[in-house]
Amino acid sequence: MESWSTFWLIVLVVTILAFVPLVLVVTVGGWLDIRHLFRALSKSKQEKEDE
C-alpha cells in the first residue's frame, strides 16, 4: 500500500508541476492568438464585402 500511496503522490505532484507552466504559457500565447484571430477575421470579412 505504501508504494501505491507514493506512486499516486508522485502523479499528483507531476500533474501540478506540469499544469502550472502550461497555464502560464497558454495564457500569454492565447492572448496573442486572439489578436491574430481578430485581425485575420477582419481581413476575411473585408474581402467578402469587397466581393
Instruction: Write out the residues near other proteins by the rule CB under 8 A.
Output: 1, 4-5, 8-9, 11-12, 15-16, 18-20, 22-23, 25-34, 36-38, 40-42, 44-45, 48-49
| Least distance from other proteins to the Cβ atom of residue 28, Å | 8
- Contacts of 22 by beta carbon, 8 Å cutoff, 6+ apart: none
Site of grid cell 500565447:
29
| Least distance from other proteins to the Cβ atom of residue 19, Å | 5
| Least distance from other proteins to the Cβ atom of residue 18, Å | 5
